Amino acid sequence: MISQMEGSQAVAQSVALCRPEVICAYPISPQTHIVEGLGALVKGGKLAPCEFLNVESEFAAMSVAIGSSATGARTYTATASQGLLFMVEAIYNASGLGLPIVMTVANRAIGAPINIWNDHSDSMSQRDCGWLQLFAESNQEAVDLHIQAFRLAEELSMPVMVCMDGFILTHAYEQLELPSQAQVDRFLPPYEPRQVLDPAEPVSIGAMVGPEAFMEVRYLAHAKQTMALELIPEIAAEFAAEFGRAAGGLTRGYRIEDAETIVVALGSVVGTLEETVDALRDAGEKIGILSIRSYRPFPLAAVRAALKGAKRVVVLEKSFSVGMGGVVSADVRMALSGIQLNGYTVVAGLGGRPITQASLRRMLADAVEDKLPPLSFLDLNRDVVDRQLEREARVRRSGPVAENLLRDVSGQTKKPEVSA
Amino acid sequence: MTQDVKFYQTGTFTVGNRLLDPELRTVQSSIARDNSLTSGHRACQGCGEALGARYAVDAAMRASKGQLIAANATGCLEVFSTPYPETSWKLPWLHSLFGNAAAVGSGIAAALKVKAQKAGLDQSAVRVIAQGGDGGTTDIGFGCLSGMFERNDDVLYICYDNGGYMNTGVQRSSATPPAARTATTMPLGPNPGEEFGRGKNVPLIAVAHEIPYVATATVADLHDLEAKVEKAMSMHGARYIQIFVPCPLGWGAASCDTIKLARLAHESGVFPVFEAEAGAITRVSKIRRRVPVEDYLRLQRRYAHLFGANPRPDIVARLQALADKNIKRFGLLEEVA
């Protein structure tokens, strides 16, 4: 059914079609509308039987999810930003125990300074936690990825994060197609747990493991993610056959066939990039996009195959590793091991800074002429940074950083006298 | 299997099975016993927590007719019972983290409720307990515990209180009593050991949540402990039992004194034993023969700095005053007509 609806409401509807049995909810922007939508569906009896728990923290949300998943219930929760970080200990625990929980991450920056707007710092900080991470380019894909995520999680007995850009997707109203219950039921069978807390067959789950087997348990998680490299395209193909549209998979190329320049990106910015690339193509540039849809497992072979014919690769990232550079870039470089080409990391959109066509076009014009530095920050106001560095060099008690920078940005501070 | 009654000591202060009707007695060993926490685990000799858990979990197993799932916090109970690939647990058991046993219990209960609804039942026949030590309960797990309480999730939470982080090497928790020596409250300076005026009374905090049932118990009165677990299991919603479990290692006490210390804690007023329902205290276990707090303190090296070469009778008096306050507050002594 074609509907015009908010991304969060669409995800709530999609999750409900997957017949979750336990949902735990804790509010954090920009994820909140998703669990609000699900709460209304449960309270109104439209999603039944299902237990909807309003918990006291994200740490509790993931802990409740661990208990319910281990008891054999299909379990869902959603979070973002600080919430994801608050549940980190339980996130690692869920993957270590092999519990197929599905969680939406409405991607948002991490403070300080506190910032509610979109970037990918939150889920990127959890790239090594053992969860699979799928990225949605659009709200339609977010709807479709949640249905695939439950299949994927339960077949592997591993948890899956569906990452969608906060506000840009979660709060955007778009036309999209919601599948029917019958379609989802055909695609997603009832959950059959590999391990379950059952008095008829008692097991101890979560026992202590020493050096004699810990490495093997951790390796098994890696082996499962390696298997997912096969399973993700299979599930995407099955999805396309059942629902009549493509979604998911490991990567998606856009005009990359003869491209000399390829921009690698994740999430909703791919849509913006498509328009920029179209314009550059019209101007005669051989340029394309590689969208990474499965960030964990990272599809090394698919990325290598897509990029190996290019002359240069620009990784456009909404997060970065402070003191080093790009997060995704490091993985892309690993995929290109032994291949000589020019590689650039462009960090963009941190804390919700708009990534505009104009800025992208300017940056890509430099890129195709190999004028980009190895690491750059799109639309960084270097003047404001320099003023703060100068201030700190000048006075010991230079004050709170964020306040200083905001005053500088808004023009409330005068440039200091050199002799001051 | 029960013993024949050999003699009665009515009118004395002897505590024990032999004063009870055979059907009311606590049975140590019986082929009918579940032994949910079975032999072979690595607890220290004289471990109060192992004893408390054995009786509490078996009582819950009996009450649920063997339909029981346990969530367990990190701590001694988890470590000594499940050295991979061995386990002492004969019931389905899940250890997740140090601070989330109550929330994991909530999740188990939620899953069971949905499964019962799918089977056309009002409520699940399978019941849930969550358990942990005082550190996992009163400190790091306190947020999850309070959340489970306020939602009135159908979980019985059992806290084994030995007054410190014993598994990590005897550090101070918010259940560590004043003046006690721990690795982080050393017997140094003018106020040796744990400071006075700190700590958290979680049983009373549980009562303030107005949950259906709260109780305290000690391993000195296993019959009372079992009865409280059974009573808790006869109810639904959030329930809390805190069991006083002496720790020979952490307290510097003889392994053979575990029961004695638990009894002295009750009989001195150090640890009030009571029950509460829906926010009101309904019953207290009266002190039958009051003993001075010093009798309880002297058996433990964690209080050795109060006696010996440089005694601190002033601190002993403050500890006695705290016990006296408990006695008054809870009405632990029989009213004299």
Q: Do B107 and A22 touch (CB under 8 A)?
A: yes
Using CB atoms, pick whichever of A67, A202, A209 lies closest to residue B108. A67
| CB nearest B126 (choices: A24, A64, A199) | A199
Between helix A357-368 and helix A269-282 the angle, nearest 10°, is 60
Contact B103 A59 (CB under 8 A): yes
Distance, in Å, from the CA atom of B133 to the CA atom of B163, rounded to the nearest integer, reads: 9
> Using CA atoms, how far apart are residues A251 and A300, in angstroms rounded to an integer?
10
- Domain spanning A251-377: which CATH class is it, in words? alpha beta
Side chain identity at residue B324, one-letter code? D
For strands B127-133 and B93-95, give the pairing.
unpaired
Residue among B261, B245, B252 at smallest CA distance from B296: B261
Q: Which residues of chain B have a CB within 8 Å of the CB of A42? A: none
The 10s digit of each residue's pLDDT in A73-107 is 999 999 999 999 999 999 999 999 999 999 999 99
Distance CA B143, CA B124 (A): 26
DSSP secondary structure of A151-188: HHHHHHT--EEEEEETTTTTT-EEEEEPPPHHHHHHHS
* Most B CBs within 10 Å, among A47, A50, A92, A197, to test the B interface: A197
What are the start-end ranges of the E strands in A7-74? 22-25, 51-54
Q: Residue A120: how many CA atoms within 13 Å on its side-chain side?
A: 28
- Of the candidates A49, A66, A204, which has its C-beta nearest B117's C-beta? A49
Q: Which residue positions in chain B have pLDDT lower than 50? A: 1, 3-11
**Interchain CB distance below 8 Å, A51 and B68:** no
B141-181 pLDDT tens trace: 999 999 999 999 999 999 999 999 999 999 999 999 999 99
Which H or E element spans position A303?
A: helix A300-307
What is the token pair recorded at B195?
């400071």
Is B144 in CB contact (< 8 Å) with chain A? yes
Neighbour tally for A12: CB within 10 Å: 28
**CA separation (Å) from B261 to A232, B68, B247, B253, B298?**
60, 31, 10, 9, 10
A50 CB near a chain B CB, below 8 Å? Answer: yes
Give the nearest partner residue to A51 out of B79, B85, B110, using CB atoms: B110
Nearest by CB: A63 against B72, B100, B146 = B100
Phi-psi region of B188 (alpha: psi -120 to 50; beta: other; left: phi over 0): beta
Confirm or reject contact between B194 and chain A (CB < 8 A): no
Bridge-based pairing of strands A287-292 and A251-254 is antiparallel
Q: Is A232 on the interface with B (CB under 8 A)?
A: no
**Domain A2-243: homologous superfamily in CATH:** Thiamin diphosphate (ThDP)-binding fold, Pyr/PP domains (3.40.50.970)
Superfamily of domain B29-330: Thiamin diphosphate (ThDP)-binding fold, Pyr/PP domains (3.40.50.970)
Chain B CB within 8 Å of residue A385 CB = no
Kindly determine whether residue B106 and residue A49, on different chains, have CB atoms separated by under 8 Å.
no
pLDDT band at residue A314 using 50, 70 and 90 as cut-offs:
very high
Query: What is the ipTM metric for this complex?
Result: 0.96
Task: Considering only the beta carbons, identify the residue of A54, A197, A204 that sits closest to B108.
Answer: A197
Chain A residue nearest residue B103, CA to CA: A64
Structure tokens at B29: 């060993």
Residue-level pLDDT at B7: 44
Q: B15-29: per-residue pLDDT in tens? A: 566 667 777 777 777
Those residues whose C-beta lies under 8 Å from the C-beta of residue B11, and which sit 6 or more positions away, are none
- Residue A189, min C-alpha distance to chain B (Å): 16
Gap from B60 CA to chain A (nearest CA, Å):
13
Q: Do A93 and B69 touch (CB under 8 A)?
A: no
CA distance A333 to A130: 21
Closest chain B C-alpha to A237 CA, distance in angstroms: 32
Q: Where are the domains of chain A?
A: 2-243, 251-377, 382-420
Q: Answer yes or no: are the C-beta atoms of A279 and A364 closer than 8 Å.
A: no
Q: What is the pLDDT at residue B2?
A: 53
Closest CA to B78 of B62, B60, B93, B90: B93
Same fold for the pair A2-243 and A251-377 = yes
| pLDDT tens-digit readout, A365-409 | 999 999 999 999 999 999 999 999 999 999 999 999 999 999 999
CB contact under 8 A, A199 and B69: yes
Minimum distance, in Å, between the CA of residue A279 and any CA atom of chain B: 52
B78 CB near a chain A CB, below 8 Å?
yes
Q: How far apart are CA B102 and CA B132, in angstroms?
A: 9
Contacts of B143 in chain A (CB under 8 A): 56-57, 59-60
pLDDT of residue A412: 76
Using the beta-carbon criterion (under 8 Å), do B79 and A208 form an inter-chain contact?
A: yes
Q: How far is B111 from chain A (nearest CA, A)?
A: 5
pLDDT at B23: 75
d(CA B268, CA B15) in angstroms, rounded, equals 16
| Size of the A and B interface in Cβ pairs below 8 Å | 162
| Residue B319 to chain A, least CA–CA distance (Å) | 36
- Say yes or no: A93 contacts chain B, CB-CB below 8 A: yes
CB atoms within 10 A of CB A207: 18
- Chain B hits for A100, CB-CB cut-off 8 Å, are none
Tokens 């193509």 belong to residue: A281
d(Cα B73, Cα B6) in Å, to the nearest integer? 42
Closest residue to B82, CB basis, from A97, A202, A204: A204
Q: Which chain B positions have a beta carbon within 8 Å of A209's beta carbon?
A: 84
A266-313 pLDDT per residue, tens:
999 999 999 999 999 999 999 999 999 999 999 999 999 999 999 999
Contact yes or no for A248/A239 (Cβ under 8 A): yes
pLDDT of residue A83: 98
Please give the helix or strand (H or E) that residue A347 lies within, else none.
strand A342-347
Measured torsion, CA atoms of residues A261, A262, A263, A265, in degrees rounded to the nearest 10: -170
CB of A104 within 8 A of CB of A114? Answer: no
Q: Give chain A positions within 8 Å (CB) of B79.
A: 208
Q: Where are chain B's structural domains?
A: 29-330
**CB atoms A197 and B94 under 8 Å:** yes
A402 touches chain B (CB under 8 A): no
Q: Residue A215 pLDDT more than 50?
A: yes
